[in-house]
Amino acid sequence: MNNNFSYLLVALLIFIIGAPIAYDLDLISLRISRVVGSSSLLAVGIWSLRGAGRLYAAGMFVVITGIILNILSMAREDDTLRIIALLTLFVFLLLVTFNTLRQVAVGNDISPNRIIGAISVYLLLGVMWSIGYGLVEYAQPGSFNGLTELLSPLWNPDWIYYSFVTITTLGYGDITPLTQTARSLSYAEAIVGQFYIAVLVAGLVSAYISTRQNSSNSD
């Protein structure tokens, strides 16, 4: 359990960075990058739930279901299957985020695993919002301007890019939300991202001070 969030961080990096780079280098197609990225996140990310009891059992069920749906959606080119696969991934990310926050937020120790978990939650938020953007564009075509024309609005690497540009409040402006739903989702992500960073830094500083004080008192 001491390094359970390391697996999660690796899975997130594969999903966020590895799969898009592999697509750009023509190593794999966009369709395969979708399956590889999301399936890797499911299969590797499940290890962050080890020792979580029922959450682990629920997560394992979601992982198996999600991988099967990913493969079927690639084979059949069915948007309904893609939507269900994305929602399955979203549910899994919610479970992982809940479990990670529960461990990261409790305690006064500053261990490497806790810091990695805190970073992972930030990345998880970005990935979950990227799924939300894809679903909004699919439900309301034209919700965003400046997107790359690819296979389906449900799976576009632009969503990952836009989500992390938004959560970090960089705001390059090359992709812009046009509908009220898209705009609301965008500024909500920016607000959550900034509050998370503020609370995270405050919590880590507080834990560090508490650890130092306990160390001084023991001496």
Output DSSP code: residue 148: -
pTM of the model: 0.87
Q: Is the pLDDT of residue 2 over 70?
A: no
- Nearest-angstrom CA–CA distance, 81 and 101: 30
More confident residue, 21 or 175: 175
149: helix, strand or coil? coil
CB 184 within 8 A of CB 174: no
The per-residue pLDDT of the chain, averaged, comes to 85
Q: What is the pLDDT of residues 124-170, one digit of tens each?
A: 999 999 999 999 999 999 999 998 876 667 777 889 999 999 999 98
- CA torsion 131→84→39→89, rounded to 10°? 50
Residue partners of 170: CB distance under 8 A and separation at least 6: none
The pLDDT score that the predictor gives to residue 217 is 61
Can you tell me the mean pLDDT for 172-176?
90
3-state DSSP of 185-217 = HHHHHHHHHHHHHHHHHHHHHHHHHHHHHHHHH
Helix, strand or coil for residue 33? helix
215: which residues sit within 8 A by CB, 6+ positions away?
none
pLDDT at residue 187 in the model: 95
The residue that leads in pLDDT, 22 or 143, is 143
| Letter string b/e over residues 59-76, b meaning 16 or more CB atoms within 10 A of that residue's CB | beebbebbbebbeebbee
pLDDT per position as a tens digit, 46-103: 888 887 788 889 999 999 999 999 888 878 877 888 899 899 999 999 999 998 888 8
Q: Which domains are present in the chain? A: 4-218 (1.10.287.70)
Count CB neighbours of 177 within 10 A. 20
Closest CA to 69 of 86, 56, 45: 86
Query: What is the per-residue pLDDT for 137?
Result: 92
Look at 95 and 25; give whichever has higher pLDDT: 95
Q: CB-hemisphere CA count at 13 Å for 79?
A: 8
